[in-house]
Amino acid sequence: MESYSNELIWFLFGLIMMLGEIVTPGFVLIFFGVGAWIVALLAWMGVSMTFSTQLFIFLILSITSLLMFRKYGNKYSHGKVIKADPAVSFDDVRGEKALATSDITPINGGTVEFHGTHWNAESETLIAKGTSVEVLERNNLTLKVKPVQ
């Protein structure tokens, strides 16, 4: 059986950690991937280390970077709602006002801006873009609306 070099093993382990970050929540695995890649780089550069030393460097780098940078990275990995009022419940939105951001037709529907977020909308009448609308009901991610009289 052919043996693989330490730098290749650390590089592949780092790659697996980076790919694992895509499918898991929490923004944690990326730091272990970076730690593995740094150890791979050191091994590739010819720094002589035992496996225990490599493992120690990997753990110190990974945990230190996790503790120092996770809070900054979390800002970019979570979505945010613009202009949303945290006190507003989206369970019952009847009677609320929104703004048509596209023409809304009975056949194709359209979109509205509601509390700073774009929603799919449907209506029984034609509503022009820019018209103020009233929400009649919510069905999952679609609002049924009518023009404000």
Which single residue is written with the structure tokens 């693989």? 4
pLDDT recorded at residue 78: 53
pLDDT recorded at residue 1: 34
CATH no. of 97-147: 2.40.50.140
pLDDT recorded at residue 85: 56
Contact 74, 27 (CB under 8 A): yes
- Per-residue HEC secondary structure of 62-78 comes to HHHHHHHHHHHHHHHHC
**pLDDT tens, per residue, the chain with 149 residues:** 345 688 899 999 999 998 998 888 777 888 899 999 999 999 889 888 888 999 999 999 999 988 888 777 666 555 555 555 555 555 678 888 999 999 999 999 999 998 888 999 999 999 999 999 999 998 888 999 999 97
CA distance 52 to 72: 31
Give the residue range(s) of CATH 2.40.50.140 domains in the chain.
97-147
Whether the full predicted model's pTM is greater than 0.85, yes or no, is no
Beta strands 97-100; 132-139: pairing state? antiparallel
Closest CA to 101 of 84, 115, 118: 118
Contact 111, 87 (CB under 8 A): no
- The DSSP call for residue 96 is -
User: In this structure, what are the phi and psi dihedrals at residue 145, rounded to the nearest 5 degrees?
Assistant: -130, 165
Closest CA to 115 of 140, 135, 137: 135
Query: What ranges make up the beta strands (E) of the chain?
Result: 97-100, 110-114, 117-122, 132-139, 142-147
